[in-house]
Structure 1
Amino acid sequence: MAIRWPLLVRRTHKWLGLVLGVQVLMWTVSGMYMVAIHIDYIHGDHLVRSQAAPPRDLAGLVDPSVIAASEPTAREVKMQTFLDQPVWRVDTKDGPRLYDGVTGAPVPALTRDQAERVAKRIYTGEPTIVSTQLLTTAPIEMQTRKPPYWRVEFEGWNQPTLYISPVTGELISRRHNLWRIFDFAWMLHIMDYSERTDVNNPLLRVATWSAVFMALAGAWLLYWSFPRRKKAKKLV
């Protein structure tokens, strides 16, 4: 039985269009959203103010070699400020640790009140806090960051939220509703519905190549739909 190519291609094009139509629409809508809003705004740069490190006099402080000797896995020791006080930060294989610059004693983790003080200091908006939580399990919007961290949410339609390290008192990340919509749009765009990071996952590859085949089938049908002139027979 001869294959009726126009009918086969037409049906293939139709079913691919029905299956992929929703995904193509999501690619279009999510792509439009991601290019409509400036990426710096999505990153939340407008939510925090940069703070320059004040100059410090090392006189009267514990020698950094003493601090390094207390940490067998110390990789780097440097001076920084923790709640307006000089501290030594030691980067180890298990993460950073802070030591009091004057006494050399380990600095305890941030309390709730201290985390709120840090967040209010760097937040650029009205510093009215809605909630403060110490998270030990990463929420969806912080899957790439290992807890624990303080989550400080401020009042506002955009639900601005700052994540503060309880160990170093540093800003880990900032989130807001437009970022959360962007993250959801990114998930739809790359079709990674779990981690939202894999831009080369099997589902996306299948959908992409299916869309290519649908386009090729449509182009073939377009070519087939044009009538072809028959060559006139030569008279003898």
Structure 2
Amino acid sequence: MIFYTSEKRKPKSLVNTARKYHKWLMLFCGVQFVIWSVSGAYMVFFDIDYIHGDSLVVNHQDKINVDNIHYSVKELREQYPDATNVSVGKFIDKEVYSFTSKDERHLVDASNGKLLSPLKQATAINAAKYYYSGEGHVLDVELITENPPFELSRRALPAWRINFDDFGSPSIYVSAQTGKLVGKRHEFWRLFDWMFRFHVMDYDDGENIENLLLFCFALFGIIAAISGLILTYFRVFKANGKRKITRSVKLEGRS
């Protein structure tokens, strides 16, 4: 008789414990579960190449025309004796030299030796239009030398930000020193960045995906899921088993 009573109480105690933990953990973690679902759905719904802004720019494959180079490397060395990492490239429609001097990158027109960097506003706008694949008009221009927005790396400074009046409010970032494309952003990328921060629960820069807050909520979520499985087992499978036994006993009694 004592053995029978203890066996009866054990499942009941387990169910009550599982119910208590499941209720309070879901009350505590429920909002974050919704955030995980919404942010995860957003990140899965949008194509990652579109989010990266690949469709915002044209991948130019310009070839260097040596006939347009009238300013030799020797002349460059004479004018800039401390120049290092010298390279020849293309900037919009010009052949240019790019080199490092006094810890800064510089751009020189290879046809006449004219120093192009730092880029002036008009040149930066022409470069942005050259890179941009859309048809929107330039909305505003800003030279960023310090305190960059979260979407631009500090290593890219100084840089020009050219905003276009187009779908998604696209922005093209052009280096003021090299004239190269250093960033391409739109509102969907910016929202994606915030969704990622909410998803990994890092509300600073979204780079620390191993933070303690995420670990704790994930652990609580696992415990809530296990307690929910226990409740499901006893309320669904065990209950169905008892109903079948009762139904069988009733049928036998009638027979």
Which category describes the TM-score, using the shorter chain as reference length? 0.7 to 0.9
Determine the structure 1 residue equivalent to 2:120.
111
**Bigger Cα Rg:** 2
Determine the structure 2 residue equivalent to 1:186.
196
The within-5 A match list for 1:28-177 is: 28-57=37-66, 60-63=70-73, 67=77, 70-71=81-82, 74=84, 76-91=85-100, 94=103, 96-101=105-110, 106-136=115-145, 137-143=147-153, 145-177=155-187
The equivalent position to 2:230 in structure 1, one of 201, 220, 231, is 220
Q: Does 1:210 align with 2:215?
A: no
Give the secondary structure class of the aligned counterpart of 2:134.
coil
Distance 1:36 1:128, change over 3 A: same
**1:60-101 Cα shifts (integer Å, max 9, x gaps):** 4322696498337x3x32101235333221257945333443
CA distance in 2, matches of 1:64, 1:87: 14
Number of residue pairs aligned between Structure 1 and Structure 2: 227
Distance 1:91 1:209, change over 3 A: farther
CA distance in 2, matches of 1:202, 1:93: 43
Q: Structure 2-normalised TM-score?
A: 0.77
Q: Which runs of 5+ in 2 are unaligned?
A: 1-8, 246-255
Distance 1:181 1:145, change over 3 A: farther
CA distance in 2, matches of 1:127, 1:23: 38
**1:92-144 Cα shifts (integer Å, max 9, x gaps):** 79453334435656543011111111111221222411110011221122256
Give the secondary structure class of the aligned counterpart of 1:164.
strand
Letter in 1 for 2:178: T
Q: Which runs of 5+ in 1 are unaligned?
A: 231-236
Determine the structure 2 residue equivalent to 1:25.
34
Structure (1/2) with the larger helix percentage: 2
Q: Structure 1-normalised TM-score?
A: 0.83
Determine the structure 1 residue equivalent to 2:23.
14
Give the secondary structure class of the aligned counterpart of 1:87.
strand
Give the secondary structure class of the aligned counterpart of 2:208.
coil
1:62–1:103 CA contact under 8 A, matched in 2: no
1:87–1:100 CA contact under 8 A, matched in 2: yes
